[in-house]
Amino acid sequence: MLEMKGITKRFPGVLASDDVSFDVYPGEVHTLLGENGAGKSTLMKILYGLYEADEGEVLLNGEPLDIHEPTDAIEHGIGMIHQHFMLVPTLTVAENVALGLRSSKGVRTDLDVVSARILELSEIYGLKVDPNAFIWQMAVGEQQRVEIIKALYRDAQLLILDEPTAVLTPQEVDQLFVTLRQLRDDGRGLIFISHKLHEVLALSTRITVLRHGRVTGSVSAEGATRESLAQMMVGRAVKLAPDKTEAHPTDVKLAIKDLRVLRDRGEEGVRGVDLEVRAGEIVGVAGVSGNGQMLLAEAIAGLRTPSEGSIRIAGTEVVGMNPKEVRGTGLSYVPEKRMKDGAISEFTVSENLLLIDHNESEYLNHGLYDFGTINEHCQQLVEEYTVKTPTLDTPARNLSGGNIQKMIIARELSGTPEVLVAAQPTRGVDIGAAEYIHKRLIEQRDESTAILMISEDLDEVFGVSDRVAVMYEGEIMGIVDPKTATREEVGLMMAGVGREQTGG
């Protein structure tokens, strides 16, 4: 039903899409797979009318498609489910669905008609929603269902799903996939964008892999493996699960007792967490975003004051200390929002590497910076941690996400910390860099650092951690051994279904 032929799109200095051809048949899920910046979004934005292609043509049902803006796309039966939902929080489901459509009752609204149709659609596709509920009251999974209904209401035959699973628990993902398969069986065409390989394999009919704006392969999902897909994405063989030896945990370095932390708005976001991390082990904290993991990390780092409880780093109570003092006890912290908290985008690579140590006497000579020593130190870090940068004086904003993260990790590990808290260490990072970061974390563990790794990526949690703590609504639901636990078990715990504590 859709044919995109020879699509080329240039941005200043970048060939975002280079002679890409892509097609979708009715009744199939065609996945676009690729790393950040591979050209997936560019291609979809062209299809949806947000960009115009420099070369190439788009055919829909054999007819050349002339799309200049999203309304054209919608008219042609193309619907897009964005990664960040396009819903008005203060309106109801029905109002959101009706938004932008002509009312059947002229100047009066026809929300009753809309509601009836919504119920009908939700019945057919198992998309449970209440047309009169307000968006702001809904959980993320429900909001996504509204987005899908919005597209179906407009009778979208071709649906683009941009990383739809990023915000869902494994169970919600399963539920979503049931709906998507049903849509597929209805004869609609689905374009699925993702970088989670196991999901791609579970859902797709065909998979097209993009790298640097070019198609590096287009395969049928049958017979494809995670390894073969990763290889096409990166251009070389990739190890998806890092090599890891048995951990040899020794003393407790991070001890958290009955920790309670308030959110900005005052409600309790961490509700009585007890957790210990020993030297020489990696404890993974799994959980869906927003279940208190970030509050936990910020409390440990001294960026947020707990309302109750105790945190000891290498034996020292750190509750009440400021971030600098906490670092003094041997903590390093890789923050979740790397461009907000971890790096200063306008600062150069060497200035960023100096962020923590900018006042250390070894870099000063009579109170002035000794750039010889600084450059030597930074050059060494950049080489050791394979940070790709033209020079040390390049502003951090010119680096790719993966390189910025490697720069932050280089800085945080350079002091051989007693305790490392790493939040989402590889989110949005390309596979090569992620692989490297995992390897460094395990090496650091073997140098007997106690590591607490917070992640929403279950592959990462299972691949890197020695123990997995699952967080749900501010509580630890249980601690499991990743070697024996299954994804389903952890998934259930992430959704709040309890489990007896097993591991240490």
Distance CA 258, CA 158 (A): 50
358 in contact with other proteins (CB under 8 A) = yes
What string of H, E and C letters represents the secondary structure of 26-80? CCEEEEEECCCCCCHHHHHHHHCCCCCCCEEEEEECCEECCCCCHHHHHHCCEEE
Q: Is residue 108 involved in binding other proteins (CB under 8 A)? A: no
Total chain residues near other proteins (CB under 8 A): 67
d(CA 471, CA 457): 13
Tell me which H or E stretch contains 384: helix 371-384
How remote is the C-alpha of 157 from its chain's centroid? 28
Write each residue from 35 to 54 as x if it is in contact with other proteins (CB under 8 A), else as -, in one continuous string.
Answer: --x-----------------
CA nearest neighbour of 403 among 390, 417, 416, 414: 390
Q: Name the minimum Å distance from CB 58 to other proteins.
A: 19
**Per CB under 8 A, which of residues 285..324 are in contact with other proteins?**
301, 303, 322-324
Q: How far is the CB of 79 from other proteins (least distance, A)?
A: 27
Q: Work out which of 284, 330, 335, 491 binds other proteins, going by CB under 8 A.
A: 335
Q: What is the 3-state secondary structure (H, E, C) of 161-218?
A: EECCCCCCCHHHHHHHHHHHHHHHHCCCEEEEEECCHHHHHHHCCEEEEEECCEEEEE
* Angstrom distance (rounded) from CA 450 to CA 357: 21
Instruction: Report the phi/psi class of residue 62: left, alpha or beta, with left for phi > 0 and alpha for psi in -120 to 50.
Output: left
For the CB of residue 333, give the shortest distance to other proteins in the complex, in Å. Answer: 7
169 binds other proteins (CB under 8 A): no
Q: Which of residues 3-32 bind other proteins (CB under 8 A)?
A: 12-14
**Least distance CB 436 / other proteins (angstroms):** 4
Q: Rule CB under 8 A: choose which of 8, 182, 228, 289 binds other proteins.
A: 228
- 345 belongs to the binding site for other proteins (CB under 8 A): yes
Which of 224, 329, 286 minimizes the C-alpha distance to 468? 286
Residues numbered 385-424 forming contacts with other proteins, rule: CB under 8 A: 386, 388-390, 394-395, 397-400, 402-403
Candidate list 430, 456, 457, 466; residue touching other proteins; CB under 8 A: 430
Q: Measured from the CB of residue 369, what is the shortest distance to other proteins in angstroms?
A: 5
Q: What are the angstrom distances between the C-alpha of 350 and each of 22, 127, 189, 334, 395? A: 42, 51, 49, 17, 9
Q: Is 216 in the site for other proteins (CB under 8 A)?
A: yes
Tell me which stretch binds other proteins (CB under 8 A): 138-146, 224-232, 269-277, 417-425.
Answer: 224-232
Which is nearer to other proteins, 398 or 501 (by Cβ)?
Answer: 398
Q: How far is CA 305 from CA 263, 319, 472, 486, in A?
A: 10, 7, 21, 35
241 binds other proteins (CB under 8 A): no
**Residue 355 near other proteins by CB under 8 A:** yes
The crossing angle, in degrees rounded to 10, of helices 170-185 and 140-153 is 10
Footprint on this chain of other proteins (rule: CB under 8 A)? 12-14, 37, 209, 212, 215-220, 228, 231-232, 234-237, 239, 243, 301, 303, 322-325, 327, 333, 335, 337, 340-347, 351, 354-356, 358-359, 364, 367-369, 386, 388-390, 394-395, 397-400, 402-403, 430, 432-433, 435-436, 439
